[in-house]
Amino acid sequence: MDEQGAIQVENAPVLEGLKERLALAEEVGREAAALAFDYFERRESLLVETKRDMHDVVSIADREVETLIRQKMRAAFPDDGFLGEEFGLEAGSSSFTWVVDPIDGTNPFVNGMPNWCVSIGLIEGGKPALGVIVSPCLRETYVSARGLGATLNGRRLAIDPARTIRNGITGLGSNSHVTPDFAADMVRDLLTAGGSFFRNGSGALMLAYVAAGRLVGYYEPVMHAWDCMAAYSLITEAGGWHMPFPTEPERITRGALVIAAGPGAKDDLVRLAGAEAAVQTFG
């Protein structure tokens, strides 16, 4: 590994083309994070618009960062598909599709909090193939690729299987797709089971924290692919588990249940989410 956290893939059993895409994702992730941070430093001048509700916001920063990432990926790999939160899905002819959230945690971003990140994921064969998550305010870069492990600022990540919802912290997410009563039940059920919860406004970062061992798991009833795909690669490569996400072209743009956890927290979180049947069906 290099000093910036890059995973060296020479002579590693990777899919053809993954090495070049990993190098590009790290380079573009750093460049995109620098652009986003520049906007963050002058956020008072940003025009902020609402989407679904007053807490679902977007700014020119989100759009410019996604445009940068999309252009870089398209120039290097014109046959790849691309799904971004702001501009949607462009189908490709290769087996690869980039899945990108230019600024995950826009609400914290526009309110001057550090809990946001640039998330660049790649799927191949319908499954996460690599993930790069850059948190410029926290000076953290997460990197992973299929079969190659996961790192945080160059340090190898490995989830402790002894951590459970009772001796660790669980991340919870909620949005306007979830009723207030359901969100309250999520918190109540976790606390009743002996757990404690954490929420910082960025699902991608909280999922990355699962890979880093800071959280034992994460649960959000409805989440989008651009929020979770990069982190799913991180979690898998760090030894964790995640609920499979529907990646068929007609479904990948819709929200889905997200559960991710280390081995010691998986069963409890699946049970709390009432997702036993879904896990038996999908993995």
Domain 18-156, what fold? Fructose-1,6-Bisphosphatase; Chain A, domain 1 (3.30.540)
Average pLDDT over residues 105-125: 94
Contact between residue 46 and residue 38 where contact means Cβ atoms under 8 Å apart: no
Specify the 3-state DSSP secondary structure of 217: strand
Number of residues written out for the chain: 283
Nearest to 40 by CA among 159, 126, 135: 135
Per the CB < 8 A criterion, the answer to whether 161 and 252 are in contact is: no
Whether the pLDDT of residue 3 is over 50: the answer is: no
pLDDT band at 59, cuts 50/70/90?
confident
Residues 6+ apart with CB under 8 A from 26: 4, 5, 6, 132, 141, 143
Give the residue extent of every domain in the chain: 18-156, 170-282
Equal fold, 18-156 vs 170-282: no
Q: Please say if the pLDDT value at position 34 is more than 50.
A: yes
Name residue, tokens 């893939």.
9
Residue 10, pLDDT above cutoff 50? no
Residue whose C-alpha is closest to residue 189's, from 175, 168, 174, 172: 172
Which CATH number describes the domain made up of 170-282? 3.40.190.80
pLDDT above 50 for 136: yes
Q: DSSP state, 261?
A: E
Question: What's the chain's average pLDDT?
Answer: 89
Residue 60: which of 102, 105, 26 has the closest Cα? Answer: 102
Compute CA distances 140 → 186, 194, 208, whole Å.
29, 31, 11
**What is the spatial distance between Cα 103 and Cα 188, in angstroms, rounded to a whole number?**
30
Start-to-end CA span in the chain (Å): 32
Please state whether beta strands 155-156 and 149-152 pair in parallel, antiparallel, or not at all (unpaired): antiparallel
From 82, 75, 57, select the one nearest 201 (Cα to Cα). 57
Write out pLDDT tens, residues 164-210. Answer: 999 999 999 988 778 899 999 999 999 999 999 999 999 999 999 99
Q: What pTM was estimated for this model as a whole? A: 0.90
Which tokens belong to 170?
Answer: 């669980």
Question: What is the predicted pLDDT for the residue at 279?
Answer: 60
Structure tokens at 50: 């609402």
